[in-house]
C-alpha cells in the first residue's frame, strides 16, 4: 500500500472530550487533515518537544530516546497503519547497529511523541485518510508563541481551580495527590495537600 506522509499542523484542547486534546496531522502533498484525540500527558510530551523546551527531569519519551540511542537503536519512521472503531493503530519502524529493521506496536500518541524526538517522518495509508480525513475550509491555524502551547497543556493538566477540589471526596484527593507526586507535579501536589489540610482543620 502506498504511504502518505503527514506533518503535525495543530494541537488544541478538545471541545468534545474533557481532559483530552485534538492532535491534527496534515497531508504533506494535499489539504486533508487527520484529527486524533489524545490524552493530556501525551499532548504535553508532544508540545514540549515541538517548542524545544527542556523539562527539569526527563519525560518518559525522553527516557525512551536516551535508552534507544545508548544501544544504537534508531526510530526511522512512524506509520499509522489501521483504524478500527475510531481507534488509530500505529507502529514504530526501528533499526539497530546492523541496520536490521524492526516493527514495534505503539499507541499513536506515543508514536507521535517519539517521532518528534527522533525527527523521523510520520506516514499513514490512503484508506485511513479517505475514511477519517477531513478538509479544512479555513487553512489559517493560529501560531502559538514560544512556550505558549506547552504552557497551555500543562495548565490544563495541573492548573485546576479550587472549586474542582471542593467537589472531590477526600479519597479522590488522596489518589490525585499520589498521582501528582509520582508524575513529579509538585506544584499540583502542593495545592491538593493544602485542600486536604484545610479539611482536617475544619
What is the reported pLDDT for 171? 82
C-alpha angle with apex 57: 60 to 176, nearest 5 degrees? Answer: 70
- Which ranges in the chain belong to alpha helices (H)? 40-50, 60-70, 108-118, 126-132, 148-158, 162-166, 170-182, 186-201
CA geometry: angle 9, 110, 136, nearest 5 deg: 25
Q: Which of 23, 50, 26 is nearest to 36 (CA)?
A: 23
CATH of domain 3-154: 3.10.690.10
| pLDDT of the residue at 77 | 97
Per-residue H/E/C for 28-61 = CCCCEEEEEEEEHHHHHHHHHHHCCCCCCCCCHH
pLDDT score, position 169? 79
Domain boundaries, the chain: 3-154, 159-201
Instruction: Say how far apart CA 81 and CA 93 lie, in whole Å.
Output: 12
Return the pLDDT at 144: 39
pLDDT of residue 104: 96
pLDDT at residue 143, as a whole number: 42
Do residues 189 and 180 make contact, with C-beta atoms less than 8 angstroms apart? yes
pLDDT tens track, the chain, 202 positions: 789 999 998 888 766 666 788 888 999 988 899 989 898 888 888 988 888 888 888 889 999 999 999 999 999 999 999 999 889 999 999 998 888 899 999 999 999 999 999 999 999 999 999 888 888 655 444 443 434 455 555 554 444 444 466 667 788 878 877 776 776 666 566 667 767 777 776 5
- Inter-axis angle of helices 40-50 and 148-158, nearest 10: 160
If we measure between CA atoms, which residue out of 151, 133, 197, 199 comes closest to residue 43? 151
CA angle 51, 53, 59 (to 5 degrees): 115
Tell me the C-alpha distance between 74 and 97, whole Å. Answer: 9
Q: What is the C-alpha to C-alpha distance for residues 196 and 175, in angstroms, rounded to an integer?
A: 12
Sign of the C-alpha dihedral computed for residues 44, 80, 22 and 167 taken in this order: negative
pLDDT at position 142, please? Answer: 42
Q: Which residue has the cell 508532544?
A: 46
Instruction: Give the pLDDT of residue 65.
Output: 94
Amino acid at each position: 500500500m502506498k504511504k502518505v506522509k503527514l506533518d503535525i499542523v495543530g494541537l488544541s484542547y478538545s471541545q468534545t472530550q474533557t481532559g483530552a486534546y485534538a492532535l491534527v496531522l496534515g497531508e504533506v502533498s494535499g489539504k486533508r487533515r487527520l484529527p486524533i484525540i489524545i490524552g493530556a500527558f501525551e499532548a504535553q510530551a508532544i508540545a514540549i518537544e515541538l517548542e524545544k523546551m527542556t523539562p527539569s527531569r526527563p519525560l518518559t519519551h525522553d527516557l525512551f530516546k536516551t535508552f534507544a540511542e545508548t544501544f544504537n537503536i534508531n526510530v526511522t519512521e512512524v506509520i499509522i497503519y489501521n483504524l478500527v472503531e475510531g481507534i488509530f493503530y500505529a507502529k514504530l519502524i526501528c533499526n539497530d547497529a546492523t541496520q536490521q529493521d524492526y516493527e514495534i506496536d505503539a499507541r499513536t500518541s506515543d508514536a507521535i511523541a517519539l517521532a518528534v524526538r527522533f525527527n523521523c517522518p510520520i506516514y499513514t495509508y490512503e484508506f485511513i485518510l479517505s475514511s477519517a480525513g477531513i478538509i479544512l475550509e479555513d487553512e489559517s491555524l493560529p501560531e502559538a508563541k514560544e512556550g505558549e502551547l506547552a504552557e497551555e497543556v500543562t495548565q490544563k493538566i495541573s492548573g485546576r481551580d479550587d472549586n474542582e477540589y471542593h467537589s472531590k471526596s477526600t479519597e479522590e484527593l488522596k489518589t490525585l495527590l499520589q498521582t501528582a507526586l509520582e508524575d513529579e507535579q509538585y506544584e499540583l501536589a502542593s495545592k491538593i495537600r493544602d485542600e486536604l489540610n484545610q479539611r482536617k482543620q475544619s
